Amino acid sequence: MENPFKASQARCEQVYQNTGITYEVISLLAEFETDPAFLEAIMPPCFKVPDRPVGRFVINKARTHSLEVGEAGHTFSDMSVLAFDCKIDGLEGPIEYSPIAYFDQEPVIYSGREFLGEPKRYGKTQLFVMNNRAHATLERFGLPIAEMIVELGPDQGEQAPVSNYAAHLKCCLTHHQNEMMYDPISVLSRREQKHSVLRSGEGVLRFLGGPKDALDEVPITKILNFSYTESLVTYTNPVPAITYPDREAIMPYYLGTCQNYGR
């Protein structure tokens, strides 16, 4: 009898190949300019603020593309991400740093946090499109903490693939919870997105915030655009991780994004 708690050789080989994972993603996204001083304050020292302080907030529904219809787990996961453009020495952009992300499924949360250092918290999203009106909300602890309402234009059709990098700060606390087990690491994932549906629009983005979520403190100085997309998004990890020995300098950024402390 095979050990059910030991991965098979076939599964290990699949993991070792590291060919990436593709997801089906339905998104409502807002792109905006923010205050440069705010961005400077929240950016960990291993990342740099770009010349133009641009942020994005997206409310998604996502599921793994490789599953066949009818397979267990073939359901859409709730997903919402706040991200800002950043720069990293030696890597050509575009690169996004995400101080916070929300998901509603346990495997998605712990795998992203443990392996990539993604600052995932539990959250629920709603995303509805009726004719030319899109409405999306993000909820935490039973409260709406962000909302988008957008009037959409016509579908611009299938788009050429575009790619960027997602930058994360991977840390691990000891069992004492007051010190790091190893030096912080910056992890970079390459994302290739191919939109089958793209609709631009005009609307409103509201950051409402909550007792443990400071979204309402994110300054929006100018809305740049709204878009609704249906896409295939493939994640790979081709860039080696970079280790930063200054643990004390990075510790506050880790505790401020990856822990559910009150504000």
DSSP string of 74-142? -SPEEEEEEEEEEEETTEEEEEEEEEEEEES-HHHHHHIIIII---EEE-EEEEEEETTEEEEEEEETT
Distance of alpha carbon 133 from alpha carbon 258, whole angstroms: 34
According to the model, what pLDDT value does residue 241 have? 87
233 lies in a domain? yes
Asked if residue 7 is part of any domain, the answer here is: no
Tell me if 230 is assigned to some domain.
yes
Q: Per the domain annotation, does 94 fall within a domain?
A: yes
Name the helix (H) or strand (E) containing 28.
strand 21-33
Q: Which residues contact 14 (CB under 8 A, 6 or more apart)?
A: none
Asked whether residue 15 is assigned to any structural domain, the reply reads: no
Residue 16 lies in a domain: no
- If one counts the domains in the chain, the total is 1
Residue 105 has what pLDDT? 87
Domain that holds residue 213: 21-258
pLDDT of residue 71: 63
Q: What is the pLDDT of residue 112?
A: 84
**Largest Cα span, the chain:** 62
Q: Of the candidates 42, 45, 213, which has an alpha carbon nearest to the alpha carbon of residue 121?
A: 213
H or E element in which residue 30 lies: strand 21-33
Query: Residue 227's pLDDT is what?
Result: 98
CATH number of the domain bearing residue 251 = 2.40.400.10
Q: Tens of pLDDT along 192-232?
A: 999 999 999 999 999 999 988 999 999 999 999 999 999 99
Q: Please check whether residue 263 lies inside any domain of the structure.
A: no
Residue 26 structure tokens: 């339905």
Residue 260: predicted pLDDT:
67
- DSSP 3-state of 202: strand
Kindly give the parts of the chain with pLDDT less than 70.
67-74, 260-263
Output the six-digit token pair for 38: 């705010």
Amino acid at 120: K
